[in-house]
A and B are shown apart, each in its own frame.
Chain A
């Protein structure tokens, strides 16, 4: 089973600034990497798949990059609604299509 490790566990950033979240896979997942956002009390929302393809309706301030074992989610200018927990998920070698443990993005 592929283990996904996200860092940092918590990231404190001011509104309007850039946030960079990291995700590392225990072995190569090619470009088969997705990102989700989960706000408190809500279901997760797909942001990005295929490492860098934004899902329908996702603002352009969200971008993804990387390949192999190292991936990054960047939020270019943080809005109030962006403060949430973010999960990466690999779907190259499954089942299971494993999730990372999450990064909590909080207001600085």
Chain B
């Protein structure tokens, strides 16, 4: 069974750093892209970017480029999303998700398995 298990909720202050995680199991972690999706309170889904754990190739949305960093440790089947300096506007639920397939098939940026979400709250 494919599973993505995300780290727990975080409460941080503006200016603090944060790294949240997403551990995959039940499939070959290096063979599928992992994506990150933001959902601000009461709002819709925003595609942040994807990472290929095999070689850490990343593709960011321009809206998030430079604001977050995606990484992966294939030895422990875990992907990460990190911030160096949080803002109140980063308050949101963050989902990791596994791609349907490969970019060569055109389906690496859509997702058929999702983590449970990590709620990040940034408040002074």
Q: Which residues of A contact B30 (CB under 8 A)?
A: none
CA distance A12 to B13 in the complex (A): 40
Q: Is B49 an interface residue (CB 8 A)?
A: yes
Report the interface size class on chain A.
20 to 34
Q: Is B47 a contact of A96 with CB atoms below 8 Å?
A: yes
Q: Which residues of B contact A38 (CB under 8 A)?
A: 45
User: Which of chain B's residues 70-114 have a Cβ closer than 8 Å to chain A?
Assistant: 95, 97, 100, 106-107, 109-112, 114
CA distance A101 to B47 in the complex (A): 12
Contact residue among A1, A49, A100 (Cβ-Cβ distance under 8 Å from B44): A100
Q: Which residues of B contact A1 (CB under 8 A)?
A: 62
Q: Is A95 a contact of B59 with CB atoms below 8 Å?
A: yes
Contact residue among A56, A91, A95, A100 (Cβ-Cβ distance under 8 Å from B110): A91
Contact residue among B59, B106, B112 (Cβ-Cβ distance under 8 Å from A32): B106
Report the interface size class on chain B.
20 to 34
Q: Is A43 a contact of B49 with CB atoms below 8 Å?
A: no
Q: Which residues of B contact A43 (CB under 8 A)?
A: 95, 97, 114-117
User: Which of chain B's residues 40-66 have a Cβ closer than 8 Å to chain A?
Assistant: 44-50, 59-63
Q: Is A34 an interface residue (CB 8 A)?
A: yes
Given contacts A99-B45, A100-B44, A101-B44, contact A44 B62 (CB under 8 A): no
